[in-house]
A and B are shown apart, each in its own frame.
Chain A
Amino acid sequence: MTFPRRWAAGLVPALLLLVSCTSSGQPAPGPPSGEEVSPRMTEGASPPPSATVRPALVLTADLGERPASWRHVAFIPYGSAASRPGVEMPPVHTSVPLVPRSFAIGPDGTLWILDTVKARVAHFTMGGRYLGSVAGLVMDRLDPRPRDVAFWRGRLVVLDEFDLAASIRQAREDRLGPDVAVRDASGRAVGLLYVYPSRGGGFGLADGYTTLALLGSGPHGVGRILPGDTARFQTAPGLPVGDATWLGVGGYRRQAFRMVATDGDRRIVQPIRLRMRVAGPHPHDVPAVFSEHYEAAAGGAGFLWIQGSPARTADAEAYGGGRWFLRFPTDGSPLAWERLPDPPVPDDYQVRHLAVDAAGDVFLMASLRSGVAIYER
């Protein structure tokens, strides 16, 4: 199978567009374009013989940048009524606000919110009108706890975790079915950070084995989840973003990661480096630490939510930190790197911030003081 010309041709203009848009992105030292590397530098279960590594792309997290404007879609206030999501504010029963952890857009375009405080997945129209809920979540210290939601083959699934180990529950009518542990082919328990919507079988983002002695080993990255008595995790090249293109992420380091696009036996690796810049009379870079979250993919692109903070306490106190949105295209469409608003209350408990609908449109869920807001890009 040949690599689509549009991908190879499209990536370069997309990257050039980024450099010009941010006015701060610049190529960084890296392997020459087209350098062949060994398979161990790539991601995936069955690495091809070679991969093309692009020059590293530098994204600047500019703390002076104003957040981008996304279209406001809905605001759903917290409350005790069934039609409202639950919230638990500190300090009596919790140290941080327990806000809805995740959300998903159903195949019909409706909104599903993982309402952990009320132990359910609440169902709303995209305008915020309450439609019902799927019950059966558990919130205690002895059972797996809900982390993420998605739709597989049109059916709602909930990702649970317990001491890092993942399990999957599928909705049956208005209740959730039993927890099914996620394991790889060796039978070891696997941790999952996210589950992704799919018209076919399921996909999830693995974070390796979860037993303490094996922490850091095992499968990392996107894989298929094959249902059965146990949910079997099988590493994949990434999430499907086109007819034959897969987009994965990996190689996390302190201020860098890689996007890996695979089509048949061809693979393109795009190293991405992150830096943080402080605005003002004397703009300058500051040492920073980042975490990046591959939260969705659709329409030829992957979507990442990235959080960053100055590494030095003094800088963090002086300048704060921020969150950014990355749209990484594989089809020549524009690459986007833009700041997202900071939450008015700590949202540490929230796992998923971005989700896509069946049309590939991207939505952001923001935890506000009195409810959750949904925005569309």
Chain B
Amino acid sequence: MFKTWELRTTYAQAGFRWYADLMNVHGPYTAASFHSATPPLPFHDLTSKTRFATTYMDAFASLDHIGMIWSNVIPGQGGDYIVEAYNDANGTQINVEDYRASSAYRAVRREGWTPDCAPRCSSPAPASHTVVVG
């Protein structure tokens, strides 16, 4: 979570840092930090866990565990496709999980992502080209 969200190693520091895949770094945050995210942390709890309120790369955090939404596609029986690391043996994996439907979990979002619409988010609509014939 720490590496994917490109958080910095200093607690609560804003901004981003890229980490290599094999770099052994965990960061200063626990699952509880994400579950109870308060300013000035560079991520915040969402007030709702509905599908309207969340999107991919948001996370669900309990006091002990955190998993990130892998895709906005909804599994056939509900739940979410979650990328997570349960334990040493299994490593990181993608699972169908019910964290959204579990009251132990809160939805949490990284702050400062570049919007998906970048770099055209604020661009005016292209002017229509009028061709006068004749």
Contact = CB atoms under 8 A, between A and B. Distances in A.
Do they bind each other?
yes
Interface of A: 88, 90-91, 93-96, 98, 139-141, 145, 161, 163-164, 191, 193, 205-208, 212, 215-216, 220-221, 249-250, 252, 254, 257, 287, 289-294, 307-314, 316, 319-322, 346, 348-349
The 10 A-B pairs with the shortest beta carbon distances in the complex, nearest first, are A141-B91, A321-B103, A291-B78, A94-B87, A216-B73, A220-B76, A95-B65, A309-B103, A291-B101, A316-B103
A320 B106 CA distance: 12
Contact of A207 (B76, B91, B105): B76
A95 to B, nearest CB: 4
Interface string B37-77: 00000000111111101000000001011100001011111
B96 interface: yes
B49 A140 contact: no
B48 A311 contact: yes
Contact of B102 (A257, A309, A313): A309
B103 A140 contact: no
Interface string B88-111: 111111111111111111110000
Contacts of A311: 48-50, 53
Nearest to B85: A95
B33 to A, nearest CB: 13
Interface of B: 31, 45-51, 53, 62, 64-66, 71, 73-79, 81, 85-107
A348 B103 contact: no
Given A252-B77, A346-B62, A316 B106 contact: yes
The listed residue with most A CB atoms (<10 A of its CB), out of B76, B85, B91, B97, is B76
A139 B89 contact: yes
Contact of B65 (A93, A96, A140, A216): A96
Nearest to A162: B93
Contact of B94 (A164, A220, A292): A164
A291 B64 contact: no
Given A88-B87, A96-B65, A348-B97, A313 B77 contact: no
B89 A291 contact: no
Contacts of B49: 289, 309, 311-313, 316
B46 A313 contact: yes
Contact of B99 (A207, A252, A348): A348
B79 to A, nearest CB: 5
Contacts of A292: 77-78
B50 A289 contact: yes
A254 B51 contact: yes
A134 to B, nearest CB: 19
Given A290-B101, A309-B100, A313-B46, A346 B77 contact: no
B103 A215 contact: no
Contacts of B102: 307, 309, 321, 348
A343 to B, nearest CB: 10
Given A249-B77, A309-B102, A311-B50, A141 B71 contact: no
Contacts of A289: 49-51, 100-101
A206 B76 CA distance: 8
B75 A95 contact: no
B62 A291 contact: no
A292 B95 CA distance: 16
Nearest to A251: B76
Contacts of B105: 309
A91 B48 contact: no
B50 A287 contact: yes
Given A287-B48, A291-B101, A349-B86, A252 B74 contact: yes
Nearest to B49: A311
Nearest to A309: B103
A215 B81 contact: yes
A185 to B, nearest CB: 18
19 contacts: A91-B64, A94-B88, A98-B86, A139-B89, A164-B94, A193-B75, A205-B76, A207-B76, A207-B96, A208-B75, A250-B76, A290-B78, A291-B77, A292-B78, A294-B77, A309-B49, A309-B101, A309-B102, A313-B107
Contacts of B87: 88, 93-95, 98
